[in-house]
Homo-oligomer: A and B are copies of this chain.
Amino acid sequence: MEEIGRGVGMTKGNLYYYFKNKQEILYYAQRRSLERLLKVSERIERLKADPAQRLHLLAEAHVRCLLGEMHAAAAHIEFHALPRTQLRRVISQRDRYERRVRGMIEEGMRHGLFVRGDSKLSTFAVLGALNWAVRWYRPDGPWGVEDIAKGLARILVRGLLARSRTYREASLGKVMA
């Protein structure tokens, strides 16, 4: 609790004023970040952008959400500490998000933009590389959240591309506004 408190600039006592226990915070954090990511993915889908640009934008948003928000690193990781009903809700929301990501990858494969392959394994590779950032990110480390967001998005999208080594990155500015 103390660690979470520090992450959001609240004392332990303050946190307990808003939440009954650690699990409630985890639940709230999980729901909130998945809701945000689902919303961002909807906005991205309405953009005039190709699948590579879409995936890049979503990967950036994913890192920002994971590293830059109240739902501290720990929250994302201790996921399975949630009680059964809450866990089920979070998992179903997470599955929905995973299907979105997978959908973007499949669209890219259909258009010949991404290398054809197992879209589910590609989805896990991309989300794994992004999620793992909560394990090594340090606020006092060499990179800011934006560096990591851009850097990982580039590496991962490039990994899927079938031909061209570059793609024009779109901006999330208009998506997040």
Contacts and interface: CB of A to CB of B under 8 A. Distances in A.
A135 interface: yes
Contact of A118 (B117, B120, B151, B158): B151
A162 interface: yes
Contacts of A122: 155
A15 interface: no
Interface in A114-141: 115, 117-118, 120-122, 124-133, 135-136
Query: How many residues of A sit at the interface, in one of the four size bands?
Result: 20 to 34
Nearest to A136: B124
Q: Count this chain's copies in the assembly.
A: 2
Report whether over half of chain A's contact residues are helix, strand or loop; otherwise say mixed.
Answer: helix
Nearest to A148: B121
Contact of A131 (B118, B128, B158): B128
A143 interface: yes
B143 A133 contact: no
A68 B160 CA distance: 27
Interface in A30-64: none
A143 to B, nearest CB: 7
A154 to B, nearest CB: 8
A144 interface: no
Interface of A: 115, 117-118, 120-122, 124-133, 135-136, 142-143, 147-148, 151-152, 154-156, 158-160, 162-163, 165
